[in-house]
Structures are given as C-alpha cells and as structure tokens.
Homo-oligomer: A and B are copies of this chain.
C-alpha cells in the first residue's frame, strides 16, 4: 500500500486512484433509499458528485498513510465527512444572498437546479450527515469530532466566510496608504486561513489522528496544511482573475463581487510569487517524515501549477 518511499511516484495516477476510492465510499454513504424524501437525496448527490478534485479527502488519506502502518482505511469516514462539509460550504456560498453564482464546475449551482429552499436544506443536510458519519465510525475518536466542528465553525471556516462577506465591495477602491495595505493583508490572510485553510489543515490533522499519530507528526502536518491552504487560495484568487469560465467552471464572481483578494492587493505576479514561497515552506514542514512525504510535496507543487 505504502509506496511513498519510492522517489518516482506518478502523482496523476496516485490522485486518480485515491479519488476513485473516495468516490466509492461517498457513493455508499449517499446511496438512495426510502428513508428520506427523494429530492434531498438527489440534491445531496448532485452537489457531492459534481466533479470535485477531492483534495481534502485525499489529504486525509495521505496523512493517515504517512503516519500509520495500516494504510488509509481507518481514515475513510473523516475523509468523506470533510468532503461533505466542503460541498455544503460551496452550496451555501453560491446562494443568491452570498456570492450569487449560477455555475460551478460547469454545472448549475444547487439553487439554480433545485431552488433556493432546497439548496439551503441540502447544505444543512450535508453538514449534519458529516457529523453522523464520523460519530458512527469505529475508528473516529470524540476529539476528532470536536476538531471537525471547530474547523467548520465560527472560529475558522464560517468566521472566514463572515469576514469575506463583510469585506465585499473593495473593487475600484484604491489602496492609498501603507497602513491600509497592512490592514488588508491582515484581513485577507485571516479570510484565507479560515475560509479555505481550516478544512485543508484539519484534513491532514484528522488523517493523522485516525491512525494515532504522534504530536510531532500532527504538528508538522498542520503546518504543511496551513501553508498549502493559503497557497491554494492565493492561486484560486489568481485563477479567478486570469482564468476563464471554461477552465474554472464558473464566472469569476469574486471579481464581480469585488471581494478582497490577493491580486487586488499585490497584483497577479506578486501573488504567484507568494504562492510559490508558501509551497516551499510547506515542503520544509514535512522534513520529519523523510521520503515518505514525497507525495505530499508533489501535491503542494500541483496546487500552484494547476490551471483550474
């Protein structure tokens, strides 16, 4: 199972295989039955199976593989829970009252497909089901559920989303003073660390916790997670500006909504440089694992070289 020691790992192949595993388990968790209204089951499936990269669950599995000896099986439930929380956050983010996006990954957003009420309830259902999955799983410990709730809650993911919304409307506003720039940098780092970073960091932490990793290992993976999380979001901002609808699968609503973004503060090129530096830092964080961490290093590189 563990082939991380070999230096030459085909990343594409690795990601594809893990994606398949995640999809299979998600499919099992979201199998339609007659225990709830059909429409909510369909809408949950619609959003979860809309072609996501499965970055978060893959990071969960990868962390478990690196820290444990038994592969990734003990981390499958938290992996799927994290993907469901990610899917719920996108559904609610896309709502008319938030980013008002009609498309995501080239498909209609949940509220465009199922109506606004159903989209709100679908997000709620995915969030709730994520906690059920981990609570029902044999390998999940109570402190992992607490970790998940903290990452998704007001002090992390939701806090970032609140701050993001409150800082909409920056377009056209020239950043005049150095002080203003410092304030904005602080804000954008907070937003990104919370809104995107929290779930990515927690993915690595939960994978490690699932296999009883040492404190040192958990700390290293958390640091790596923080850095790639920020790099990932910086690149997302960049792609939102330079990407196009076809590749990104959505129109660049962050730019339309005039949100505070890295390119707005630093410009596109400087933002890219920041992302590269963060990825270098992330790779250094993994030194404790030696060659076993090669795959995570490759994932870090991939995140800033992707086109969507």
Tell me how many residues of A have a C-beta within 8 Å of chain B. 46
Contact with B along A119-137 (1 / 0, CB 8 A): 0110111011101100110
With contact pairs A36-B155, A161-B121 given, residues A131 and B131 touching in the complex (Cβ less than 8 Å) = yes
Which DSSP category, helix, strand, loop or mixed, fits chain A's interface?
A: helix
A residues 170-196 near B (Cβ < 8 Å) are: none
**Would you call A146 and B135 a contact (CB within 8 A)?**
yes
> In the complex, how many angstroms separate the beta carbon of A215 from the nearest chain B beta carbon?
19
**Would you call B132 and A146 a contact (CB within 8 A)?**
yes
Question: Is A143 close to B, CB under 8 A?
Answer: yes
Question: Is A1 close to B, CB under 8 A?
Answer: no
- Contacts of A95 on B, CB cut-off 8 Å? 117, 120
- Contacts of A162 on B, CB cut-off 8 Å? 36-37, 39-40, 118, 121
Question: Is A163 close to B, CB under 8 A?
Answer: yes
Question: Is A98 close to B, CB under 8 A?
Answer: yes
**Would you call A123 and B124 a contact (CB within 8 A)?**
yes
- Contacts of A132 on B, CB cut-off 8 Å? 146, 149-150, 153
With contact pairs A41-B154, A162-B40, A166-B39 given, residues A117 and B98 touching in the complex (Cβ less than 8 Å) = yes
Query: In the docked arrangement, what's the CA distance between A41 and B92, Å?
Result: 19
**Would you call B165 and A153 a contact (CB within 8 A)?**
no
Copy number in the complex reads 2
Question: Is A158 close to B, CB under 8 A?
Answer: yes
- Contacts of A143 on B, CB cut-off 8 Å? 135
**Would you call A154 and B44 a contact (CB within 8 A)?**
yes
> In the complex, how many angstroms separate the beta carbon of A214 from the nearest chain B beta carbon?
22
- Contacts of A44 on B, CB cut-off 8 Å? 154
Of B36, B153, B166, the contact of A159 (CB 8 Å cutoff): B36
Query: In the docked arrangement, what's the CA distance between A114 and B178, Å?
Result: 32
**Would you call A149 and B161 a contact (CB within 8 A)?**
no
With contact pairs A127-B127, A127-B128, A162-B40 given, residues A142 and B153 touching in the complex (Cβ less than 8 Å) = no
Q: Would you list the 5 A-B pairs with minimal beta carbon distance, nearest first?
A: A132-B149, A97-B116, A135-B146, A135-B145, A36-B159
Q: List 30 A-B contacts (CB under 8 A).
A: A35-B155, A36-B159, A36-B162, A37-B159, A40-B158, A40-B159, A44-B154, A92-B120, A92-B124, A95-B117, A95-B120, A97-B115, A120-B120, A121-B158, A121-B161, A123-B124, A124-B124, A124-B127, A125-B154, A127-B127, A127-B128, A128-B149, A128-B158, A129-B154, A131-B149, A132-B149, A132-B153, A135-B142, A135-B146, A135-B149
